[in-house]
Structure 1
Amino acid sequence: MKRIYLLLSFAFLASTAMAQIDVTFAVDMTGVTVSDSGLHVTGNWQEAAGGSNWTPGTSEMTDAGGGLYTLTVNIPAGGYEFKYINGNDWPDEESIPAVSQVGFGNGNRYFQLTAAGNGLDTIPFSGSAMPGFSAVKVMVDMADQEVDSTGAHVAGDMFTPNWTPNATPLYNVSNAIYAAVVQVANGDYQYKFLRSNDWGTDESVPDDCGAGGNRTITVAGDMEDGPNCFAGCGPCAVPTDITFKVDMNQSCMDFATDGVNLMGTATDWGDGAAMDDSDGDGVFELTLGLQPGDYEYKFKTGETWEGVGNRPLAVVDGEAQVLDPICFNSNEVCPAEFFDPADLTFNVDVNAEDVPDGQFVWVMGDFTGWQGGAIKMTDDDNDGIWSTTVADFCPQTAAFKFAIGTDPPEGDAWVEESGDFSEIGGCGTDNDPNTDNRFFQRSSDDAEMLCYEFNTCDACLVGIEEIESLNRVEVYPNPVVGDINIVFENSDNYMIRLLDVTGKVIFSTEVNAAKTTISSDNLNSGIYFIQITDTDNNTVTRKIVK
């Protein structure tokens, strides 16, 4: 019987030099119109082949006839991930069925290339198996086993060659769980897992879920079997209850209508798992039974994801956890004080950047649903500082960044900031595994204004209506040592605010004099801003460094 199989395994990449091996990607486009931009394949193998990883429009496939497209590359043995692209950019990527994905939050296809030169089988674009075959994903939990350096393997009569212990290596999909996928005709099969690539390390399966020491399976369509404990009929450990909580009361979002979902490796990302607020207190909860291991998670309401990085979670066998109710879009509990909506003005200085004709500057964030709702900014006076005001801004925090691009945003004509904002100046938060976001926390009920140089934490200085006398304000010494001296040209009533790089007011005072001082004893090293407003509501801002 002819069988087509696809290895979904991912071995450790060798740290030593290895021989280059030819491998051919093959995708069946029968019934699919191929883009005028061509058919491409992308993945983390491209650098090994002399290109750049995950560059969707550079590795074009060739029409081999009969709807088959192929590309042969020469790369070292190891584990690789990939996707097919019907076009030359990410919106053209295929939609991969769950059974063919890495899983646990990773939606890519993948394969294990051995030194023997095993190849890839033909896969339908956006499909799991060729006509007449089904995709079967088998998974084993090795939590209580020691896996040999040759890696975990699977053998059986649905893998080719049949019952060959070193032919089908397994991929470590999550913690101690290993998996492989095979394309096979419907029918009855037997198989077993091994702790290495040779007999003598194979499992002996109980009769409750097997026959003659082998696992048994009946295939009638795409399916997953497991994860089962090595040499067992179920998971290795009883799931541990973990209760997730998120406080939505200060999110200013329509969570009552949109609902709140837990997203992460525990829910295989995707659409996540719906949370519940049965008592109507605005704190959503969800309890999941999880196997021991390391997880990542965040929350989402409607189409709005949190702008913070993925939160880590370690689950220990038998140790149930009830997590604190984290404030949405924060890693802390919600503060007791809640500020009323007020205008928030975003400014960005792009004088050091290239803004091509026909392109604009944008601001996007968790309050816009990111790029889909990005706000186009304006530069009416052509001074290179682009601005926009969000009226009655309600959220207490904002994760955001600026971008340069066309209207509407599209493809390569969209350049987002990529600064390491959490490190270069403390004006942002880590958003691992993605680039950092800027971060702002409201400090009062008053209107507030932000101004940064593009892709940096350096502030640009924009006065609301600066006048000549305020422009002659002196602030010294700078860098600060000891007291901060502020000298005015004229005596008047002045409101002085000291802000950190996030815009948070850390000190304010009113003075009626020609000179005043502010102690810096309690200030940490970093960048600060002194904002001075006179009785006519004219404002000037000075940047200082301690």
Structure 2
Amino acid sequence: MKKAILFLAFLLPVIGSIAQTVNITFNVNMNFQTVDPGGVFVAGGSGFGSPGDNQLTDPDGDGIYSITLAKPVGFSSHYIFLNGNCGDYSCKENIAGQPCSDPASYNDRFIAVGSSDTTVSTCFGLCTDGTDCSVVDSVEVTFRLDMTGVTVDPGGVYVAGGGAFGSPGDNELTDPDGDGIYTITLAKPVPFASYYTFTNGNCGDFSCKEDIAGQSCADPDNYNDRFLRLVENDTVICTYFANCDAFSPCALTSVDDLILDPGLFRLHPNPARAEVWLDFSSAGRVARQVEVFDPSGRMVWRQQVAVGATQTLLQLASLPASVYVVKVRDGQRMSVQKLMLTPR
């Protein structure tokens, strides 16, 4: 009897410690990524250590990488997924501007658990609730920046900052027609809001950003940056470098004037590896514009299709495996479709 009591006295603290932990399971769809030989990891925050500490595995080869970790009841921490064992986090997923990223903590994800086991299922590089890697609803934000009278830096003109627009060098505005108006269109998740600024040059320290201190659109509590208020529809912003005024007419064509035509084109094969045929429902009377956006909303491919063409080949071997959005503009008509590029 005495031995039994001693055994129970030893066992109770062990049982109590087990009851004070919960299991957190992460499932990450990597089917649209070229998985680094170093492995897939969860890391960061105050509770998930460094790259290399917590490796996700895929024993059944279905492309879903998983790990289960025991954490204390009431645990909370930021975290991020990494494609590779990179101590400097250079291989972390880029979810900037998406709803699950925290711009105040390196655009990482966040988890808080109670007293029950928790499962997080998502896609690498996307804020999905589950391992279905369909692209979330998005809006297009177009910036048209008048650089007239400004000596443009050879490094380019960029929109950056605010946690959703990255660093100088990430999102370049261009002026293909040489009229002094630099333009970029980015796809962002709905709803979307963020600070931002323009830079004249590719300066990682933001030393070449515009100076709008004291002007109406500058927020002195956020580095005198501009602020894009809640956006739920396609939006065009027309302004001047270092000046809060807006110019008009703003857009060459108002977004409200566009006609959404879901049958304008189809993609095949889809999913694809490197080459995708784009078939139009009819011959074009004007040159068509094809644009491809990555999951962060950055335009990564642009191609013009000649008048009268009924199909064109998109040679996308330079793009990594991921989920993309393809947008086609045909005069006043527009259509958007999802494209999946698989590992090659």
TM tier, smaller: 0.3 to 0.5
TM-score relative to the length of structure 1: 0.30
- Report which structure shows greater RCO (CA 8 Å, sep ≥6): 2
Instruction: State the TM-score, normalizing by the size of structure 2.
Output: 0.43
Give 1 or 2 for the bigger CA radius of gyration: 1
